Amino acid sequence: MRTQVAIIGAGPSGLLLSQLLQLQGVDNVVLERRTGEYVLGRIRAGVLEQGAVDLLHEARVGARLAREGLAHEGFDICVGDRRHRIDLKGLTGGKCVTVYGQTEVTKDLMDARAALGGTVVYEAQDVALHDLGGKAARVTYRRDGKAAEVVCDYVAGCDGFHGVSRGAIPKDLLRNYERVYPFGWLGVLSDTRPVSDELIYVHHERGFALCSMRSMTRSRYYIQCEFDEDLEEWTDDRFWDELRRRLPPDAAAALQAGPAIEKSIAPLRSFVAEPMRYQRLFLAGDAAHIVPPTGAKGLNLAASDIYYLSRALIAHYKENRDDLLDAYSQTALRRVWKAERFSWWMTTLLHRFPDASAFDRRVQEAELDYVTGSVAARTALAENYVGLPY
């Protein structure tokens, strides 16, 4: 098979890039290791910046998002029993975020790819990248036991943190920056009424908690847990009891418990690989960087990478210019590092660190007091939360 751009991975990064390229007449093929059902079964992000929403509209997948997405003009930070509202709209001159699940974004993208007749090969095994520095790159894989190959001009590595693309960059050219946090998030999805109309981020003695949602009838909750905890030991009742203990009294009283329709533990990590380009390969999304979920930035960073990469590839094919491709890694990384900083900061501010000294804890309390008490600090928080400009 010959194509212009081979895209590895059919998560949000890969599907969005594929859709944007095809709309501009750039031929592409997506290779995904899993089945479509498996990809849709992963419950992940829930909060979209306006930049991501705009890009989804540009990709012509914004209709259901516009109907079903929930505009959120603020959220609460809860310290002890006190709730402090972060008025995103007021602090940023009118900006807000949209609550719409990653599952729905992915489904809308899958439907759009199918409607436009895009080639997405699911269950592509043993994907391997070759000849990245040659006249044309090659991607080999197996499907139903048969060997297959895609010859292309460029490869987009959109295959997430555990994908193969990043590994195709020689070790001596790649620099990894990493921080692993000493805890995880235990998440529960349930068909219950959300405890509040807006998200609540909770800093508590027993650990962080987050009340989020997917719709007004579907809640998403997280609690900080040990990173190596056994999921089996978290019965639904134990989860709801622990969550209730971390919430302020009014929210605890309003909490509607119900059966978990999904329950999982995610480790928390900050990670950046530089550069994001090697010869004919471009990395995007989680393949190049990971943020802890506290700042709700992972999916949004995937969208901004795709914004830069799609424009660069389209400029190459339509205007015969390569300056945007040449600048891609640097341009994307500038925004990535700001989101890394913000996500690290939100995580540090709100979690309970098992190895924190008494001094560390007092500094954390002072910072929480400063952020909740100062308009300048809340403005900086809000500006980052709604998303820095592309």
Region binding ligand PHB by CB under 6 A among candidate stretches 137-145, 291-299, 314-322, 324-332: 291-299
Q: Do residues 265 and 229 touch, judged by C-beta distance below 8 A?
A: yes
Q: Say how far apart CA 120 and CA 7 lie, in whole Å.
A: 9
47 near ligand PHB, rule: CB under 6 A:
yes
Among the options 141, 293, 308, 328, which is catalytic? 293
Among 46, 163, 194, 387, binds ligand PHB (CB under 6 A): 46
Among 6, 19, 44, 281, binds ligand RFL (CB under 6 A): 44
Residue with tokens 């389209």: 314
Nearer to ligand PHB, 150 or 210 (CB): 210
Among the options 100, 154, 181, 201, which is catalytic? 201
Map the footprint of ligand PHB across residues 295-314, applying CB under 6 A: 296
Region binding ligand RFL by CB under 6 A among candidate stretches 9-17, 85-93, 147-155, 333-341: 9-17
Question: Looking at beta carbons, which residue is closest to ligand PHB?
Answer: 46
Q: Which runs of consecutive H residues, i.e. helices, occur in 210-357?
A: 236-246, 249-254, 298-319, 323-350
DSSP3 helix / strand / coil % (the chain, rounded to 5): 40, 30, 30
Closest CA to 300 of 390, 169, 189: 390
Residue 292 bears catalytic tag? no
Q: Which stretch of DSSP H or E encloses residue 220?
A: strand 218-225
What phi and psi values does residue 20 have, to the nearest 5 degrees?
Answer: -65, -40
Q: Which runs of consecutive H residues, i.e. helices, occur in 29-140?
A: 36-41, 50-58, 63-68, 88-92, 102-115
Contacts with ligand PHB by CB under 6 A lie at 45-47, 199, 210, 212, 220, 293-294, 296
Contacts with ligand RFL by CB under 6 A lie at 8-14, 31-34, 39, 44-47, 102, 124, 127, 158-160, 162-164, 185, 187, 266, 285-286, 293, 296-300, 302
